[in-house]
Amino acid sequence: MLITDSDQFRGSTEILKAITGGDKLRYEVKYQQSGRSFIFSGVLAIAGNQSTINGNDKSGAIPRRILPVVIPKQFVGPARDLREEFRPYLPGFINWVLDLSDEEMMRLLHDADKPGNALEESAINRLVSTYSSVFWFRECIIVTGNSDDRVQVGDAREEKRDSWLYPNYRAFCDLMELPATPIQKFTKELDEIVLPLLGMRAVELPGRNSAGKFAYGLKLRQEGDTTSEKPF
């Protein structure tokens, strides 16, 4: 299934999540009685000039399912019939795809966002441009890998911006003139999008709410830190 010209879509993504999540879909034909529901078994490709699937998804499911292919180079020059120009190369390309084993094809698709994969960088860049929490984490967090290092999620108290994650995130958004997300959404993005990029998770201590969660193996970047390596 191919969808084009969907730049900066802001509507509901419920059907999109059903299509890509293996849920049953209603079979409808105009002026006819609805048929039995079905599960979409194909591949969905969405093309656009910018980041194409923002929508109103609050679950974090959409970014986890996207395999972005970014084409940064723009065509410059007189108009050309690209379909005819590339037609002679299509048989070779199709033969190359058909020669891939099922195992290799599934590995390429499922491991698209794993370290070392060619699509990893474009996937992360898309998350950075879509989620301010991912942008903040990349710029303001140092991953130590030491379980003794832990940082509390915290709340919106400004005086804690140098020691807690959420007030540090808010201070970063103020500096970058970005809208900050509420703490509930920030914690959800941290759990479902940001930390999974590094195979990490936040731990909630007994008797605490989401603000009492701790992330282990990392620390806030402070003024004067000489570590230049970013998390991703």
- Cα 97 from Cα 6, distance rounded (Å): 27
**How far, in Å, are 2, 63, 82, 108, 215 from residue 53 at the CA level?**
14, 8, 26, 22, 29
Where do the structural domains in the chain lie, given as residue ranges? 2-72+103-125, 132-220
Percent of the chain with pLDDT over 70: 83
Helices (H) and strands (E) in the chain, counts: 9, 9
Q: Over the stretch 165-223, which tens digit does the pLDDT of each residue have?
A: 999 999 999 999 999 999 998 998 888 888 887 878 777 655 455 567 888 999 999 88
Look at the domain 132-220 and name its fold.
Answer: Arc Repressor Mutant, subunit A (1.10.10)
Between 59-73, 181-195, 218-232, the lowest mean confidence (pLDDT) is in: 59-73
- Cα 229 from Cα 232, distance rounded (Å): 8
